[in-house]
Amino acid sequence: MSSIEMDEGQERWNFIVNKYGGGLLTHFNPDIITPFCSNEKGDEVEEFFESRVRPSFAMNLKQSIEQARIKARFVQSIKQERQPLQYLLKQLACKG
């Protein structure tokens, strides 16, 4: 991340903390993090929260990042299966 992105991230973080406080962040994390489904996004989230994690939502944050990584593995497996499936369908269509 560039220093500009880090500054913007810090500004956003300050806004989030001021708006949601420590307790509500527990519910905020899954809603924001789990829609991501790539390892790169998981890395970005980990990097962003590295110095911002608080005990009140540390476990929730870890679970949310893991969910994003699980989705990334699922997406990758679907992409890998797509080629053989298309080939199989073509073969079956030709036989019919």
Residue 23 confidence class, pLDDT cut points 50, 70, 90 = low
**DSSP code per residue over 24-88:** HHHHHHHHHHTT--SHHHHHHHHHHHTTT--TTTHHHHHHHHHHHHHHHHHHHHHHHHHHHHHHH
Tokens, residue 21: 């406080």
pLDDT tens, residue by residue, 38-91: 788 878 878 877 877 777 778 888 888 888 888 888 888 878 777 777 777 788
Domains in the chain, number: 1
The residue range of the domain holding 58 is: 3-95
This model's pTM is above 0.85:
no
